[in-house]
Amino acid sequence: MKLRLHHLILTLIFAGLPAPAQEEPLADEAPLDIVEDGTPDSENQDAPARRPGEVPAMFRDDALLDESHSNQELGINVYTAPSISKIFDQLDHLPAIPEEYVLRNRPEKLSTTAGALALEMGYLLADGFIAVRSGHMNDIKPIALDLTRYGKALGVGERMNTHSASLLEYAEKGQLEEFKKSLAATQSDVNAELTSLRDPDLAHLIALGGWIRALEASTAAISSKFDPEQAAIIFYPDAPAYFSEVLGCLNPQTAKKLKVDQMCILLDELTHQMTLEEGEKPSLDKVNALHQTVGRLSTLAVGKGHEH
């Protein structure tokens, strides 16, 4: 209850304002370093902690953090849903995803719960990126069609129709960067529409779905060809901690339908598993443990998608 009230206060304070300026570090305090691939410098132990409700630095899209009038009205700042494209960035620097994790079994019938639909839409956005990255261009059309179906069910069908054609075009041409930009634009438009419908919870659930799917694929890729340096990118405890906060602030009725209590337990477990001691490097055992936990979280979120 305290967390929900605190998050609500933060939202009321920051919604409609441009992103707050970063405070200057003290002379003896090291700033948060971000390397080119967007990964926080794991050796920097003095970085300022993420504030409650604030999107992790790794998942922020600077393109959304301007001072435009429209962004102020929509409350787009570091307290809104993470960027899908930033979530998928971690996959760009990892080994090939094992074939059995490139595609997943998707439900034939749509859920009647808006929260479940939003989670599944996040999964679909990740499905599209993973398929294109893995060269499965022929699988993009059914994914795009499913995105349109889910968008219509959520009341954002027109937005999805506009982007589906672009997603198909970039997939056919094998233009991964353009495809990823189109996915980000899709998420941005859907978020704007959901915000206008006064349903921002769904925007966060879309991001959560995309993150879970990406993390499951990432841990599978790293396990298949382990390298501690590559593995470091997924040991980012701010991510599950943030999504646990998001779930803790959901509408109680939505939370009950999504089994939020059980999901938060698994997110807290991921936060613990991703936290490394100073000087500690990721190990294959730790990656495998993450893979098992996120697999359980994925099954809880949208049901079994991989037969293992």
Percentage of residues in the chain having pLDDT higher than 90: 41
* 92 lies in some domain: yes
Domain count, the chain: 1
* 129 lies in some domain: yes
**pLDDT score recorded for residue 37:** 43
pLDDT in tens, 25-41: 443 433 333 334 444 44
* 41 lies in some domain: no
Q: How far apart (Å, rounded) are the C-alpha atoms in residues 205 and 188?
A: 14
**pLDDT score recorded for residue 28:** 41
Position with higher pLDDT, 95 vs 60: 95
* 68 lies in some domain: no
**pLDDT score recorded for residue 65:** 42
Full domain range(s) for residue 197: 83-302
* 217 lies in some domain: yes
Asked if 16 and 72 count as a contact pair (C-beta separation under 8 A), the reply is: yes
* 156 lies in some domain: yes
Query: What band does 287 get if pLDDT is binned at 50, 70 and 90?
Result: very high
**pLDDT score recorded for residue 47:** 55
Mean pLDDT in residue range 243-251: 92
Which residues contact residue 218 at a Cβ distance below 8 angstroms, ignoring those fewer than 6 apart?
A: 90, 91, 94, 233, 234
Whether the per-residue pLDDT at 42 is higher than 60: the answer is no
**pLDDT score recorded for residue 251:** 86
* 76 lies in some domain: no
Query: What band does 98 get if pLDDT is binned at 50, 70 and 90?
Result: very high
Position with higher pLDDT, 48 vs 44: 48
Query: pTM for the complete prediction?
Result: 0.79
* 71 lies in some domain: no
Packed helices 238-248 and 2-14: angle between N→C axes, nearest 10 degrees: 100
Identity (one letter) of the amino acid at 86?
Answer: K
